[in-house]
């Protein structure tokens, strides 16, 4: 997709869900996707952080409540940060300064969470290598341990861009279920009509390895070493 073809966020708003999610299919090209996967997989092994259910890379620094020590972003990533910025995604003259890259193998996911106060309240995600279902839950205002109820899901296709902000950022949690395939349910997936591919009810989509580029802005940064013990 060229800059001339790229729609505005106003045209990409997902209707019939709380404010605000924007979904742009084919935000990057197949060639750009291949280049991203190649670059991510060619970085030195120490750049990866291994978690129990996935592994990840931090670019731009490691966010911390006391401040992120800013690091230079490589040009192959800066290209996509600039592309997101061109949509006026963050507003108020804010530009992204951090990229979190998560690798999800087919059966891996992430528990329900929010991005929290370390970040400017806009999160943008480019998906590479595989689709995923992103599930949303209303944040519970209670100290009781209750199982949150699934409110709706979004289907994130390969090469798509998702933008979350406002109510969806502050008052909802999002998660990825741990399974190796997903089944289309039109009643719960709210952006099917916006997807590049057309899907049928009950269709099963097999997952492949997915790389997600989560592009955000960390307001509190430092160019000096911080004592963060």
Burial class (CB in 10 A: 0-12, 13-18, 19+), 6: middle
The residue among 23, 131, 33, 129 whose CA lies nearest residue 76 is: 33
pLDDT at residue 9 greater than cutoff 70: yes
Interatomic CA distance for residues 62 and 228, integer angstroms: 11
Q: What are phi and psi of 40, to 5 degrees?
A: -60, -45
For the ranges 141-150, 154-163, 181-190, 198-207, which has the lowest average pLDDT? Answer: 141-150
Question: Which pTM value belongs to this model?
Answer: 0.92
Cis peptide preceding 76, ω within 30 of 0: no
Domains of the chain: 12-220 (2.60.120.590)
Provide the 8-state DSSP code for 8: P
Please, are residues 135 and 179 in contact by the beta-carbon 8 Å criterion? Answer: no
pLDDT at residue 21 greater than cutoff 60: yes
Q: Tokens 């979004």 map to which residue? A: 154
pLDDT in tens, 167-203: 999 999 999 999 999 999 999 999 999 999 999 999 9
Burial class (CB in 10 A: 0-12, 13-18, 19+), 22: buried
Mean pLDDT of the chain: 92
């Amino acid at each position: 997709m060229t800059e001339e073809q790229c729609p505005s966020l106003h045209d990409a708003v997902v209707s019939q869900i709380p404010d605000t999610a924007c979904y742009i299919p084919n935000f990057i090209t197949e060639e750009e996707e291949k280049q991203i996967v190649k670059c991510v997989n060619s970085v030195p092994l120490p750049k990866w952080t291994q978690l129990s259910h996935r592994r990840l890379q931090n670019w731009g620094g490691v966010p911390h409540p006391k401040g992120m020590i800013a690091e230079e972003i490589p040009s192959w990533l800066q290209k996509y940060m600039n592309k997101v910025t061109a949509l006026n995604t963050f507003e108020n003259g804010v530009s992204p300064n951090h990229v979190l890259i998560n690798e999800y193998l087919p059966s891996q996911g992430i528990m329900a969470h929010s991005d929290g106060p370390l970040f400017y309240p806009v999160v943008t995600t480019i998906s590479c290598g595989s689709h995923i279902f992103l599930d949303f839950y209303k944040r519970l205002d209670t100290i009781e341990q209750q199982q949150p109820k699934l409110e709706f899901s979004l289907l994130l296709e390969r090469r798509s861009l998702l933008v979350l902000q406002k109510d969806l950022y502050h008052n909802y949690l999002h998660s990825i279920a741990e399974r190796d395939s997903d089944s289309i349910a039109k009643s719960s997936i709210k952006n099917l009509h916006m997807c590049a591919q057309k899907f049928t009810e009950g269709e099963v989509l097999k997952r492949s390895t997915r790389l997600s580029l989560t592009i955000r802005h960390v307001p509190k940064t430092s160019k000096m070493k911080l004592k963060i013990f």
